[in-house]
């Protein structure tokens, strides 16, 4: 009887422990973990929680195992406690190891997400996009698609890379370097990237890296352009030292490149009235004013060459792709929509809102200006789309420009980079670390030459002097020229060009567009003609009509801007329904080619 009463008293406690255990199991299954944070309540204002010091994390919070799950990104907080997000919480990164355990290829991806330039915009950003402001809500594990996916069907080019995803929580376009807070906020963008690279250099698996690709979308792409040269030098120095520690070998080179997505913005006149000087939103401010106001908060780290060339008044233009590109030494590939919705938003000319026909003409001219600014870029893929952050979508590899896919273009770009970098990929077995090798030491270790070796040297010298002259200009691009180029300079890539810029060609191809074929006269009239306009590329993401909620076509797009589709179809000689049912290219041929 006493045992039964005792059991009844302990039953609530057992139920409580069982419920807690089940809750912990569910949390662990979902990737969440409880975390105790030591905070002095006497010194913390609960209303200013975003300005609190970073939490003191327990040692088990940083995952150190189970990295072989190649489908999941695992969170790692940076070891440097003085590298923080906007609200003072610790910054970090996610890592996903490759399914190929022997992979020596690494991708470092920088997240995008606009910026803030004063207290009002930072508070608004904190409320609406808290994950871009603080690390408090970051999950321990994440599944990410697009160019970060492990699935070869989604990510055919980089699925087998060891992938690093760096969340964007500095709101400074990754350029801030001031250690102390400004106005109660930390802007540590460039410091975060430096700390991530330093943390990776301490990892044994990264010390064997042969290929590193910095990738960024939107603000992350700007961060790549501003920091890639500096980070590339840091990686090369760190790997030389790290490999010497581990293997007593020195790698003479490593392939480092960049991939910039949707970060090629122009300082283009806006369509609507000029912005007010007292703008309070990042979407209402032109790039010049927004960046100038943000520079005072960020204390940015700008590449010296660009900063000196642009001067104190115009160095803000180093945030613009057409300006900073000419000062970047590391090879980078540009992916940019000609009608990027972020560029249209800053120009106050959103595509789907419609308006007068001169607005559509403005948008078309803006697309032509973007295409023209990309003419000097060595590696570029620019479809006539309105997509922003192309690489974050799961169909990015299927985009086409002039019958050439983005997947094939990147494969060709990477193959040429690899071929060029393969020449210096040999290892030197040395007995001493590289720092101790000097000219004096090498002379002291050089064996003494006897008279026989001197005679051999003189005989070789005479043979070289008596060799008949050859025309070296005929060897350009040949084996001798490549060898001399490799030995002379191993840091600069060759001047090969991979450019796929959409011109919206109206040329008719055989059976390119289903069952509809251009008539011979119409095909002859369209020969060699092009017309850059939104929706001219069928591989772009489909847009939805704001009123009918149907898929937008070229004809329905012109209807948004006051064009009478009935009159247009009558001039062409077909019905409206027939015209709208045609493929995109066929619609454009009938609309823009002179019929004979």
Which listed residue (207, 388, 502, 518) is catalytic?
388
Q: How is residue 131 annotated by DSSP?
A: G
Indicate the burial class of 232 (C-beta count within 10 angstroms; 0-12, 13-18, 19 or more).
buried
Are 250 and 428 a contacting pair, CB within 8 Å?
Answer: yes
The helix/strand/coil state of 545 is coil
d(C-alpha 515, C-alpha 583), whole Å: 10
Query: What length does the chain have?
Result: 596
DSSP state of 125: H
In degrees, to the nearest 5, what angle opens at C-alpha 333 toward C-alphas 328 and 338? 110
**Max CA distance (Å), the chain:** 116
* DSSP assignment letter at 116: -
DSSP H or E segment with residue 341: helix 341-346
Q: Which residues pair with 380 in a beta bridge?
A: 334, 499
- Crossing angle of helices 565-572/584-592, nearest 10°? 80
Residue carrying structure tokens 């915009």: 121
CA angle 134, 53, 50 (to 5 degrees): 45
Exposed e or buried b per residue across 388-403, where buried means at least 16 C-beta atoms within 10 angstroms of its C-beta: bbbbbbeebbebbbee
The answer to whether 165 and 93 have CB atoms below 8 angstroms apart is: yes
From CA 174, how far away is CA 195, in angstroms rounded?
13
**CA separation for the pair 331, 492 (Å, rounded):** 8
Nearest alpha carbon to residue 115 among 283, 309, 334, 271? 283
Q: Is 471 a catalytic residue?
A: no
CA dist., res. 497 & res. 210, Å (int) = 23
Q: What is the DSSP string of 473-511?
A: GGGTTSHHHHHHHHHH-SSS-----EEEE---B----TT
Q: Which of 588, 335, 587, 381 is nearest to 500 (CA)?
A: 381
CA distance 177 to 434: 31
Catalytic residue among 218, 262, 337, 556: 218
CB neighbours (10 Å) of residue 571? 12
218 catalytic, yes or no? yes
Beta bridge partner(s), residue 142? 73
135 catalytically annotated:
no
Separation CA 149–CA 143 (nearest Å): 8
Q: How many CB atoms lie within 10 A of CB 529?
A: 16
Coil, strand or helix at 232: helix
* Structure token digits, residue 124: 């608004």
- Which one of 87, 199, 340, 414 is the catalytic residue? 340
| Distance, C-alpha 56 to centroid of its chain | 32
Q: Which two tokens stand for residue 427?
A: 């290892």
Residue 51 and residue 184: Cα distance in Å, rounded? 6
CB 585 within 8 A of CB 514: no
Q: Which residues are the active-site residues?
A: 218, 340, 388
């Amino acid at each position: 009887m006493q045992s039964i009463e005792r059991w009844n008293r302990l039953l609530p406690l057992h139920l409580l422990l069982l419920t807690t255990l089940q809750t912990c199991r569910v949390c662990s299954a979902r990737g969440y973990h409880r975390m105790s944070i030591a905070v002095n309540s006497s010194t913390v204002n609960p209303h200013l929680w975003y300005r609190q010091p970073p939490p003191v994390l327990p040692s088990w919070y940083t995952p150190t195992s189970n990295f072989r799950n190649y489908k999941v990104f695992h969170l790692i907080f940076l070891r440097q406690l003085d590298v923080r997000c906007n609200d003072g919480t610790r910054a970090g990164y996610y890592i996903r190891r490759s399914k190929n355990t022997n992979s020596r290829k690494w991708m470092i991806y920088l997240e995008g997400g606009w910026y803030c330039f004063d207290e009002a915009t930072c508070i608004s950003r904190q409320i609406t996009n808290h994950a871009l402001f603080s690390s408090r809500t970051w999950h321990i594990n994440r599944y990410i698609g697009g160019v970060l996916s492990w699935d070869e069907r989604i990510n055919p080019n980089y699925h087998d890379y060891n992938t690093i995803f760096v969340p964007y929580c500095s709101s400074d376009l990754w350029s801030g370097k001031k250690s102390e807070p400004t106005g109660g906020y930390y802007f540590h963008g460039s410091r975060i990237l430096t700390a991530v690279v330093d943390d990776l250099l301490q990892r044994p698996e990264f010390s064997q890296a042969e290929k590193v690709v910095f990738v960024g979308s939107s603000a992350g792409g700007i961060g790549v352009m501003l920091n890639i040269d500096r980070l590339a030098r840091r990686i090369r120095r760190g790997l030389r030292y790290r490999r010497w520690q581990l293997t007593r070998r020195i790698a003479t080179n490593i392939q480092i490149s960049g991939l910039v997505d949707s970060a090629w913005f122009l300082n283009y006149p806006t369509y609507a009235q000029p912005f007010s000087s007292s703008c309070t939103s990042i979407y209402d401010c032109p790039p010049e004013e927004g960046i100038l106001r943000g520079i005072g908060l960020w204390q940015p780290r700008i590449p010296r060459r660009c900063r000196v060339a642009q001067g104190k008044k115009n160095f803000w233009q180093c945030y613009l792709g057409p300006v900073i590109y000419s000062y970047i030494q590391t090879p980078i590939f540009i992916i940019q929509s000609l009608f990027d919705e972020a560029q249209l938003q800053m120009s106050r000319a959103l595509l789907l809102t419609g308006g007068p026909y001169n607005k559509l003409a403005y948008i078309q001219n803006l697309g032509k200006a973007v295409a023209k600014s990309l003419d000097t870029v060595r590696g570029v893929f620019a479809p006539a789309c309105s997509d922003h952050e192309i690489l974050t979508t799961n169909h990015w590899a299927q985009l086409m420009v002039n019958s050439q896919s983005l997947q094939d273009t990147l494969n060709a770009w990477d193959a040429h980079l690899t071929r060029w970098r393969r020449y210096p990929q040999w290892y030197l077995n040395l007995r001493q670390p590289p720092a101790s090798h000097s000219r004096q030491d090498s002379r002291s270790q050089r064996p003494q030459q006897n008279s026989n070796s001197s005679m051999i040297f003189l005989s070789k010298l005479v043979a070289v002097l008596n060799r008949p002259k050859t025309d070296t200009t005929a060897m350009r691009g040949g084996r001798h020229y490549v060898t001399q180029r490799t030995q002379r300079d191993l840091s600069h890539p060759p001047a090969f060009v991979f450019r796929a810029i959409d011109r919206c060609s109206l040329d008719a191809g055989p059976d390119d567009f289903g069952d509809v074929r251009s008539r011979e006269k119409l095909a002859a009239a369209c020969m060699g003609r092009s017309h850059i306009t939104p929706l001219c590329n069928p591989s772009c993401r489909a847009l939805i009509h704001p009123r009918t909620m149907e898929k937008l076509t070229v004809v329905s797009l012109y209807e948004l801007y006051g064009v009478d589709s009935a009159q247009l179809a009558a001039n062409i000689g077909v019905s409206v329904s027939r015209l709208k049912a045609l493929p995109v290219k066929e619609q454009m041929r009938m609309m823009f080619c002179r019929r004979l």
